[in-house]
Structures are given as structure tokens and as C-alpha cells.
Amino acid sequence: MAIPDFQSLMFPLLELLDDEKEHSMKDITIKLARKFELTDDQLAEMLPSRKQSIFYNRVTWAKAHLKMAALVENTKRGYFKITSNGRNILSEKPSAINLKFLRQIPEYIEAVEGGKNSDLDKVEVTEIEIAPTKTPEEILETEYLNIRKALAQDLLSKVKSCSPIFFEKLVVDLLVRMGYGGSLADAGKAIGRAGDEGIDGIIKEDKLGLDVIYIQAKRWEGNVGRPEIQKFVGALAGQGAKKGIFITTSRYTPDAASYTPKNETKIVLIDGEQLAQLMIDYNLGVNPEIMYEVKKIDSDYFEGE
């Protein structure tokens, strides 16, 4: 069984509260997981932000909508129970409780529309009938990833159109922003020297220069194969080096990606997609345009109330 959407959780959640006892979110989440026979893997599935599980997020929103309809009420920090309105609704034995159903409850309309009690027009009814099954966090994070993916594609196209010299500078800027290379001046001196057996440059691993990393930067269109990686490893061995980073604007073949040196050499492969994502993460070649803050109640502030 797939993870149920938050609307499908509303009715069974309210049924679990029909014992009129106080319940915590943890308790209800466990009971709903058992009811829907969810696997450990399903319960471990996370939102794109990796900050909360998908199932827990959906249970939270199911409870939030029931609370807006005054079917559930908070009793103390982290606990809630069914209300008399909630018991009355269950006594009517509805076939389901969803957003369309809740729209019939005055308290819900008041909570959602801020006091607007006029009859729903056709547009509003349509929106209810096709109400999303994803929670606001799921929608927001999914759309964020879509925007980021499109930006990464545009960014990579821009990088591929740059000159080889600029690409070397870009690599330096990125590695320094990631904490490598010490100062930008030191890193700039190391990268861009004449290639030596497949080595495009050397950069400090830390600001003190206790160790160095050898760089191979390829602004390619075709996929990078295993022979290129093996040459790079051989070049590292020739320099007595044990650490290297191979960066390309293209992709690696499966053989190249799975290659592991038999000696102590450690190499990191960064393809074009990863390069673009790292540039976005470290604000290289991109600027923040719009920022949204998603806030929640600070329960600690109200603890002494």
C-alpha cells in the first residue's frame, strides 16, 4: 500500500481519537502507520528537505485541518483529543472526511477564510473537488526542486559556453568557497599551470596547506570514460599524490563512475550536474532572487504561560 495522502488520513485519525483520551502526534502516527500497514522503508521516506518524514508531515496536516474544523482540540503541549463536534461527526458515519467535507463546517470556513461566510462560488467548489493530495510542504519543496533543476540546466549550459581559461577560474572559485585552497590568490596560482601528465593544477586541502589535492578539469561535451580516469590516477601516482578531484561539464560512463583505484589513491568525480548543484549551493554564478521564510510556533516561548 502506498503512503496515504493527508486527506485520506483525516477520517481514520478522527476515529482513533474517538476514545476521548489525549493523544500525542507520535502515538497517533504509530497507530495510523499500523492501520495502513506501512513498511519501515515507507515510514523512512523523507521530504526533499530531509527534515521530516513524508508520512509524519501528512499526519500533521490531517490533524491541522481537523483542528481548524473544531473536530480536534489541543489539550497541552504536544497532545490533543477529539471535541464534541468531532464525536457528532463520527456519529453521522460519514463515508469519508476530506477538504470538501470540511468545507461544510462553519468553523472550518471561518478558520480558512477569516470570517468569510458567503456561499461558495463555482470556482471555489471546483478547487475543493480537485483539492491537492500533497501537503503545503510537499508542494513547496517539490516546486523548489523543479525551479532548482531548471536553474542547474541553464547554469550548466552557460558554463559549457565559457572559455577553458574561465572554466579553470570557475573551478578555483568553487573549491575556495567550499573551503579548499586557502586564499583565492594561492589557489589561483596553483590552478592553470601547464598540464603535467594529466594534472591541471594543485590546490590546498585546508587553509594551512597540510595536504594538497590534484585537479583535473575537463570542459567536455562527450562522456568521460574509464581510460581518462585511469590516466588521472596514473598521473597522481607519478606525482606521489593520493588525493584528486576530476571535474567535468559532461557525464561519466558507468565504467568510469564505478572505477576504484587499487592503491591508496582517493579520487572524487564531479560531473556537470553535480557541478551546477554545487555552484547553486555555494552561490557561485547565481544570486538569490526571492526568499520565503516558513515559520512555526515557538512552543518554548509559551512554556511558562
65: left (phi over 0), alpha (psi -120 to 50) or beta: alpha
> How would CATH label the architecture of 10-134?
Orthogonal Bundle (1.10)
CATH topology (fold) of 154-281: 3.40.1340
Could you tell me the strand order of the sheet in which 79-82 lies?
23-24, 79-82, 72-76
Percentage of the chain exceeding pLDDT 90: 51
* 136-160 pLDDT, tens digit each: 889 888 888 889 999 999 999 999 9
Phi, psi of 31 (to 5 degrees): -65, -40
Query: How is the chain split among helix, strand and coil, in percent rounded to 5?
Result: 50, 15, 40
Number of Cβ within a 10 Å radius of residue 189: 15
Domain ranges of the chain: 10-134, 154-281
* 281-301 pLDDT, tens digit each: 999 999 988 887 888 778 777
Given a cut of 90, is residue 196 above it in pLDDT? no
Rounded to an integer, what distance in angstroms lies between the CA atom of residue 199 and that of residue 251? 19
- Structural element, H or E, at residue 43: helix 40-43
